[in-house]
Amino acid sequence: MPPRPLAPPPLDVDVLVVGAGLSGIDAACRLSMEGDRLSWAVLEARDATGGTWDLFRYPGVRSDSDMYTLGFPFRPWQGATSIAPAAEILQYLRDTADEYRVTERIHVGQRVTRLAWSSHERRWTVTARRVDGEVLEHRARFVYLATGYYSYASGHVVDFPGQEDFIGEVVHPQQWPEGLPVAGRRVVVIGSGATAVTLVPALVAEGAEHVTMLQRSPSYVAALPNVDPVADAVRRWLPASLAHGVVRAKNVALSSLTYEFLRRRPVTGREVLRRRLVERLPEGYPVDVHFAPRYDPWDQRLCLSPDGDLLEVLSSGAAEVVTETIDRFVPAGVRVSTGEVLAADVVVTATGLRLELGGGAELVVDGAPVDLSAAHVYKGCMLSDVPNLALAVGYTNASWTLRADLTARWFCALVRWLDARGLAVAVPRWDGSGGEDRPLLDFTSGYVQRAAHLLPHQGSRRPWRVVQSYAYDVATMRLGRLDDGVLELS
């Protein structure tokens, strides 16, 4: 038997980034820009980098934000399309990590299980378990959680009545089987969110005989062009970095204005969204049955249909939407409350994500476990009474990267500011002055509501209020004071 490989030595660094997805690579690139002033490393639980863009393998998986804002501001997106497939995003992330010499500092296959702060030592002890069972205890002055907001282990799974009777295959998008045959088969996709809206046209493109999107209630769907003509024109005339900045600013402004319009004028917004669907679907299509949600626009995230791909397959008859509740699974498919059986060879349960902060790691401060549900979020990126720890959480109404990159830049500025003054610790103190408690994510989506009791809170006044506004955050995080009287420094 060959000798067992030796475990790598534990790390002792200034900054330990947890997670090597989009947020983690972004933060690591920003740390790289600090030069040799800081020592840092990245821990990744999985055996590959890329996070979401490596994890999800279902047909058609793509961005649901434009790449000029989902891409990094310091490395222009050069792809031909604005809404990019996962493979192109993954390559972009890995190329960026290589260019900024981040890849060599990523330690894959190390799942962080515990984060313990010692005020006496002014350091974190970060316990990580390798896939072979070895346990390492790393040390760091600061921890940056770039683990996202959902569990990578599994999505939200619903135990549908009679599911064991179904003679076909049942799959969840988060655990898509490699090589699952689709061509010539009838597929029912349960769900109405972004994943379902992505899957339906992709399954048709892969040759499915027929695809049914079975939804309990509708979502808003907006058809947008997949190629940005303004971006193409600007990139022909300006250098790449300048063109990227111009297009990024244009897209941020346009998405912000659209969001504000839909939130402030929901009745008019509903009509505008409806009218655009009516224009793209066959005459007489029951838009008010399948695409008229009970909630206002942006109470939940809008679903994006690049070039109207979903509307095209519905118009052609290759796919359909059924808005009904499920009675039970039967051997031949799914029976809905009307008694109709939707015939299926494959059922895809696009029933959503399972929220989880910090990758499920235990958080401890001076021997006392931290109750995340009792904590408050400072500037959208630190937890009350938890020292030297930041977390990246993106926007619900815009590109994830916009806020993640602001957070990474603010965090680097904080560490730089502390070091310049001979200080070692920064901890936000909640004293009630932040106003009334509010949910961290003010969204009615099912995956948010299911986990609302597990998440920290925001306040009603800054810096404890989490505002879904890039312009507001630029003003407060890039231009605001670090010694604001709330952040305790020592």
- Give bridge partners of residue 114 from the DSSP assignment: 127, 362
Distance (Å, rounded) from C-alpha 176 to C-alpha 188? 15
Q: What stretch of H or E contains 25?
A: helix 22-32
Half-sphere exposure of 137 (CA within 13 A, CB side): 5
Length of the chain, in residues: 490
Residue partners of 99: CB distance under 8 A and separation at least 6:
75
Q: How many CB atoms lie within 10 A of CB 316?
A: 10
Residue of 387, 419, 388, 412 whose CA lies nearest to 477: 412
Distance (Å, rounded) from C-alpha 297 to C-alpha 50? 31
Between the two ends of the chain, the Cα-to-Cα distance in Å is 53
Q: What is the pLDDT of residue 4?
A: 45
Q: Are 222 and 276 in contact (CB under 8 A)?
A: yes
* Cis previous bond, 463, omega within 30: yes
User: 0.85 cut: is pTM over it?
Assistant: yes
Distance (Å, rounded) from C-alpha 385 to C-alpha 382? 9
Q: Is 158 left (phi over 0), alpha (psi -120 to 50) or beta?
A: beta
Pairing between β-strand 186-190 and β-strand 346-349 as defined by DSSP bridges: parallel
pLDDT tens string for the chain (490 positions)? 444 445 567 899 999 999 999 999 999 999 999 999 999 999 999 999 999 999 999 999 999 888 999 999 999 998 888 899 999 999 999 999 999 999 999 999 999 999 999 999 999 999 999 988 899 999 999 999 999 888 888 888 888 999 999 999 999 999 999 989 999 999 999 998 899 999 999 999 999 999 999 999 999 999 988 888 888 888 888 887 888 888 888 888 888 888 888 889 999 999 999 999 999 999 999 999 999 998 888 888 889 999 999 999 999 999 999 999 999 999 999 999 999 999 999 999 999 888 888 888 999 999 999 998 888 999 989 999 999 999 998 887 788 899 999 999 999 999 999 999 999 999 999 888 887 878 777 655 565 566 666 778 878 888 888 888 888 888 888 877 888 888 888 8
